[in-house]
Amino acid sequence: MRDLKTQLKDKALELGFPLFGVSPADPLEGAAFYARWVAMGYAGEMDYLKRNIEKRGDLTKIVPGARSVICLGMEYLQPSPKKFSTTEGRFASYARGDDYHELIKTRLFELWDYIKSKTSGVSGRVYVDTAPLLERELAERAGVGWRGKNTLLINKHRGSYFFLSEIVSTLEISPDEPATDHCGNCTKCLDACPTNAFPDPYVLDASRCISYLTIEHKTSIPQELRPKMGNWVYGCDVCQDVCPWNKRAKISKEPAYNSRDGFDKPPLIEWMQLDKESFNKKFRGNPAKRPKRRGLLRNIAIALGNSGDQLGIPALIVALTDEEVLIRSHAAWGLGQLKGKSAHEALLKQREQEKDKSVLEEIDAALANFKFKTLS
């Protein structure tokens, strides 16, 4: 008869988790580093990461009597285009289909029910981005993979394009051997980062990361970082795309993660014109609802400004009068990058009627980019 751990691993695979490992629920060494990382401001505006710091090093504070953590990985990688037109954006691979949270949580509960059917007297909780867990350290201890220099977990056979989730419980089960680092002297991820978001190997300054800027950052994106964002409108995969270990990454077999129509090459001009109703309809059940319409259109305005293609000007002119301050301000920046007579006229017109100080500052900065010859 197969032992319990083998049965659980097989059940996890059946549920779509090809990566499975067990970590003891011992205190986590990374808690002190995490506290320093937050104190240095590297978490940006993500205040939820600044809460419950004391719980992150002690699993018994979230599950009393915790003995083990089952760490699971589910792949999400989608085929990615190699070429883009000037008016096409880029979308992180994980976010092109349905939101993973509910899907994974449902599968975790199925696995947890299976565990309870095979044991007695166990208690625990399931997690997918929903608890103060240092999940990458746990997954590394469980042998699922090692933390790369880009801070993401890398598996020797499957790369890094996978979601992590956990079952923390009182279950007594033998732990796996921890994973070892196989990055060696490679620095491709660090060298490729468009915004220099890695102050050191294995350290991410999230406040400079394109994924953070396009998803978690709720306010105006610093002007000096905008040109470096290229055509990314939601997330960024650059540090994963260049990782040699991702040559072994597998395309996800989960239908829910399949790219929705247009999400592999977002049509920037079309999406720039999304109203509230069309935005909610298009992104229902998709991760990109997180930054809301104002955040996504802010990102698209930057991508259009970076495109160098004046075909984007009419859509930006319309956005210049949007009810959302964040959209108006970044539309002004985009017009200032693309220039052109119609852009200049629109900026001057909006300047006369704009009431918000931050938008006026963006308009003035954009107008400063225009240079017209004067008659002598």
Q: How far is CA 164 from the centre of its chain?
A: 13
Are residues 273 and 126 part of one domain? no
The pLDDT of residue 374 is above 50: no
Confidence at residue 131, expressed as pLDDT on a 0 to 100 scale: 84
Confidence at residue 97, expressed as pLDDT on a 0 to 100 scale: 97
Are residues 147 and 202 part of one domain? no
Q: Domain containing 160: what range?
A: 4-76+99-169
Q: How many residues does the chain have?
A: 376
35 falls within a domain: yes
177: helix, strand or coil: coil
The pLDDT of residue 376 is above 50: no
Confidence at residue 279, expressed as pLDDT on a 0 to 100 scale: 98
Rounded Cα distance between 61 and 55, Å, is 6
pLDDT tens figures, 297-349: 999 999 999 999 999 999 999 999 999 999 999 999 999 999 999 999 999 99
Confidence at residue 54, expressed as pLDDT on a 0 to 100 scale: 82
The structural domain count of the chain equals 2
Average pLDDT over residues 126-155: 96
37 falls within a domain: yes
Are residues 111 and 32 part of one domain? yes
Are residues 219 and 120 part of one domain? no
The catalytic position among 10, 129, 181, 191 is: 129
Measuring CA to CA, how many Å separate 219 from each of 123, 207, 213, 351?
41, 12, 9, 21
176 falls within a domain: no
Q: How are beta strands 232-234 and 90-91 bridged, if at all?
A: parallel
Identify whether 129 is a catalytic site residue. Answer: yes
Residue spans of alpha helices (H) in the chain: 4-14, 31-39, 100-118, 135-141, 188-192, 210-215, 238-241, 268-272, 276-282, 292-307, 313-319, 325-338, 341-353, 357-367
pTM of structure: 0.95
193 falls within a domain: yes
Are residues 347 and 258 part of one domain? yes
Are residues 323 and 227 part of one domain? yes
104 falls within a domain: yes
Confidence at residue 57, expressed as pLDDT on a 0 to 100 scale: 86
Q: Let me know if 15 is exposed, middle or buried by CB neighbors in 10 A (0-12, 13-18, 19+).
A: middle
Q: Other C-beta atoms within 10 Å of 319: how many?
A: 24
pLDDT tens figures, 262-273: 999 999 999 999
Angle between helices 325-338 and 292-307 (to 10 degrees): 0
Q: What is the mean pLDDT of the chain?
A: 95
Q: Are 336 and 364 in contact (CB under 8 A)?
A: no
